[in-house]
Amino acid sequence: MKKKVLSILCCASMVASLAACGSSSSATTETSTTAADASATKIALITMDSIDQHWISLNDGAQEAAAELGVEVTFMSPNTKDDAQQIESVNNAVAGGYQAIIVAANGPDAISSSLKEAQEAGLKIVYVDSPANVDAEATFSTDNKAAGTIAGEQMLAAFAEAGVTGGSIGIINVNAATDSCVMREEGFREAFAGSSFEILETQYGEGDAAKSQSIAENYVTQGVVGIFGANEGSTTGAGNAIKAAGTSDIVGVGFDTSDAILNLVTDGYLLCTMAQNPSVMGYEGVKAAVAAIGGESLGGAVTDTGVSVVDAAYLGGSSASASADAVVASQAWKIALITMDSIDQHWVSLNEGAQAKASELGVEVSFMSPNTKDDAQQIESVNNAVAGGYNAIMVAANGPDAISSALKEAQDAGITIVYVDSPANLDAEATFSTDNKAAGVTAGEEMLAALTAAGTTSGNIGIINVNAATDSCVMREEGFRQAFEGTDFTILETQYGEGDAAKSQSIAENYVTQGVVGIFGANEGSTTGAGNAIKAAGDSSIIGVGFDQSDAILNLIADGYLLCTMAQNPAVMGSMGVEACVAALEGASAGGAVTDTGVSVLK
């Protein structure tokens, strides 16, 4: 299992870094985010309540974006989770002349009618955290089912380490309607499928810490071996009950990162918590709302804002408040950025994010990438960084092995190593990348859905990858193939185009000649080549799906030659990578943290 640990120093300023993300997975980052009259723009922010620290952090991010863009964001959330009060807040926004509503729905149904009425009155709707059953301009949320599975895997691993092979596990959720929490529970239960553990019937604490603690105390009395909390209040209650019982035998796992939760993790009463990025949701939500008010179509884009695991080993006993201090550079550190090449728009965007953060922190980042994907040239770049007296190297490895020796020599020379996008086989300070296998599964599911909608139930599918060594692309292919397991489709032998659009197009043209029903491209060049081949063939029945977002790819989607692309957050990787380098150089170890920077589907 791949363990994900939150780099809190990086997460604390992720909001600021996203402001410079000119090529993020969100459609909003392709816009100017400027309304026709920003000074007169009024946006209502309506979350499930106004008390949980999760929503307070979301509002903090929203207010930061509002200040940058010169618009007004009013936090109009009720004091408690209540459908009637949330509906009233929506109605107040309409009556108050607001142009947009950013909303985290208590449940998918109760609020939908009022949101529909707001929409018909001309208000733009943007979802954060939890959507309702009404189409919106954009959604910024966590992949909650996947995050719930990670939570379950963390608990299972703790049981295995303790030699516990069976027992009852309690679940505390908010209610049976809040989609985000329902999906977390579903993912958590999925992690235990086929095990000898018994998941008890879910109990609902309405997100209230005191009610949740009472439920958890009953679970403790029943002799459970573990308790899962689906949100901040549920998790706090679970941890407090375990603390009150004075036992270390019950494994507590939950969601969100309030001071209370982080203290419970540090003190050993909770194993870990799933840390979302609420401030990023709020920040990006405001950008999207302003763009929509300004007349830009965002196409209902759904952006995964990522999730990470925070445990006691990472926190190291430090206080929650101290861990959130901003990174400060005491000198003009020199950082080398070495990506697979310097041409693909993905790497250009990553460099833009790195340069923006370097400017903010007062450090130097040199983009030292080769012009083409070549192991020897990438190794030479690493050696040049060592010879040039650089303090840190941020690297996206062509493959896990070829560059490892050169990086080890750099590390032995005292240089800090941070991975962005693709790691090598060497322990590093931190890694910022996409969960590529999960993203590959998503790509496969998108193609399957399109084939099914077209009445196609079998046929050959071609795959164009970069090479057999680049870990990120290999994992994308693995996930894509997994999506087709058990179907009647045949996945052909992978062909490698070295990330070059022209070579990839030639491969794709051969696939077209073979009569394939679909083509998958594992990176920018592969995807561009696939789309161009489908365009040249003039055959709209071939489903093209790929990765990354360049102007060429987005145009191919708009023209109907590609179904969709999996959009990563390269600028975020670059920004957070620089921040991690500086933090490490200033003596704050990230402990090898792996942060998922998210992926979205652009159609």
Instruction: List, for residues 366-423, the tens digit of each pLDDT value.
Output: 999 998 889 999 999 999 999 999 999 999 999 889 999 999 999 999 999 999 999 9
pLDDT in tens, 279-290: 889 999 999 999
Q: Which amino acid is at 160?
A: A
- pLDDT tops 80 at residue 39: no
d(CA 499, CA 214): 56
Q: Are 548 and 594 in contact (CB under 8 A)?
A: no
Confidence band of 12 (pLDDT split at 50, 70, 90): very low
Mean pLDDT score, 473-493: 96
How high is the pLDDT of residue 326?
Answer: 57
Higher pLDDT among residues 353 and 304, named by residue: 353
- pLDDT tops 60 at residue 206: yes
d(CA 287, CA 289): 6
d(CA 303, CA 572): 13
d(CA 588, CA 345): 32
Confidence band of 38 (pLDDT split at 50, 70, 90): low
Mean pLDDT score, 206-216: 94
Question: What DSSP element (H or E) covers 433?
Answer: strand 430-433
Residue 499 gets the label, from left (phi > 0), alpha (psi -120 to 50) or beta, of left
Q: Please state at what angle helix 404-412 crosses helix 375-387, rounded to 10 degrees.
A: 10
d(CA 154, CA 151): 5
- pLDDT tops 50 at residue 470: yes
User: What's phi and psi for 278, nearest 5 deg?
Assistant: -60, -35
The structure tokens 């901003």 sit at 326
- pLDDT tops 50 at residue 47: yes
Higher pLDDT among residues 13 and 213, named by residue: 213
d(CA 292, CA 200): 44
For 144-275, CATH number out of 3.40.50.2300, 3.40.30.10, 3.40.50.410, 3.40.50.300 equals 3.40.50.2300
- pLDDT tops 90 at residue 204: yes
- Measured in whole angstroms, the distance separating CA 227 from the mean position of its chain's CA atoms is 25
Confidence band of 562 (pLDDT split at 50, 70, 90): very high
pLDDT in tens, 491-546: 999 999 999 999 999 999 999 999 999 999 999 999 999 999 999 999 889 999 99
Confidence band of 175 (pLDDT split at 50, 70, 90): very high
Q: Please state at what angle helix 345-361 crosses helix 570-585, rounded to 10 degrees.
A: 40
3-class DSSP state of 435: coil
d(CA 215, CA 429): 40
- Measured in whole angstroms, the distance separating CA 171 from the mean position of its chain's CA atoms is 25
Distances (CA, A) of 464 to 76, 511, 518, 526, 548: 49, 10, 11, 6, 14
- pLDDT tops 90 at residue 594: no
Q: Are 103 and 128 in contact (CB under 8 A)?
A: yes
Dihedral sign for Cα 10, 15, 19, 21, please.
positive
d(CA 531, CA 250): 53
- Residue from 494, 489, 518 nearest 507 by CA: 494
H-helix segments, 362-397: 375-387
pLDDT in tens, 304-315: 787 778 887 656
* CATH class held by domain 436-567: alpha beta
Q: Are 53 and 256 in contact (CB under 8 A)?
A: yes
Q: What is the CA radius of gyration of the chain?
A: 24
Burial class (CB in 10 A: 0-12, 13-18, 19+), 9: buried
Q: Please state at what angle helix 524-537 crosses helix 551-558, rounded to 10 degrees.
A: 40
pTM for this entry = 0.47
pLDDT in tens, 433-462: 888 898 999 999 999 999 999 999 999 999
Dihedral sign for Cα 472, 473, 475, 480, please.
positive
How high is the pLDDT of residue 595?
Answer: 83
For residue 363, the number of C-alpha atoms closer than 13 Å in the C-beta half-sphere is: 30
- pLDDT tops 50 at residue 70: yes
- pLDDT tops 70 at residue 363: yes
- pLDDT tops 90 at residue 590: no
Higher pLDDT among residues 562 and 345, named by residue: 562
How high is the pLDDT of residue 411?
Answer: 96
Average pLDDT taken over every residue of the chain: 88
How high is the pLDDT of residue 18?
Answer: 30
3-class DSSP state of 111: coil
d(CA 92, CA 86): 10
* Residue 101 bridge partners (DSSP): 44, 125
3-class DSSP state of 585: helix
- pLDDT tops 50 at residue 318: no
d(CA 236, CA 227): 11
10 Å Cβ neighbour count for 145?
17
The structure tokens 């652009």 sit at 602
User: What's phi and psi for 285, nearest 5 deg?
Assistant: -60, -40
Q: Which residues contact 486 (CB under 8 A, 6 or more apart)?
A: none
* Residue 431 bridge partners (DSSP): 419, 594
Topology of domain 31-142+278-306, CATH: Rossmann fold (3.40.50)
- Measured in whole angstroms, the distance separating CA 55 from the mean position of its chain's CA atoms is 18
DSSP letter for each residue of 25-74:
SSGGGGS----TTGGG-EEEEE-S-SSSHHHHHHHHHHHHHHHHHT-EEE
Dihedral sign for Cα 228, 230, 233, 235, please.
positive
- Residue from 6, 595, 17 nearest 361 by CA: 17
Domain ranges in the chain are 31-142+278-306, 144-275, 323-434+570-602, 436-567
How high is the pLDDT of residue 257?
Answer: 81
Mean pLDDT score, 114-126: 97
d(CA 194, CA 14): 38
Q: Are 274 and 307 in contact (CB under 8 A)?
A: yes
The first and second tokens of residue 170, run together, are 């309690």
Question: What DSSP element (H or E) covers 565?
Answer: strand 564-567
How high is the pLDDT of residue 313?
Answer: 63
- pLDDT tops 60 at residue 350: yes
How high is the pLDDT of residue 20?
Answer: 30
For 323-434+570-602, CATH number out of 3.40.630.40, 3.40.50.2300, 3.40.50.150, 3.30.465.10 equals 3.40.50.2300
Q: Are 208 and 201 in contact (CB under 8 A)?
A: no
Terminal Cα distance for the chain, rounded = 31
How high is the pLDDT of residue 402?
Answer: 93
Angle, CA 10 vertex, CA 48 and CA 375 arms, to 5°: 130
Is there a shared CATH topology between the 323-434+570-602 domain and the 436-567 domain? Answer: yes
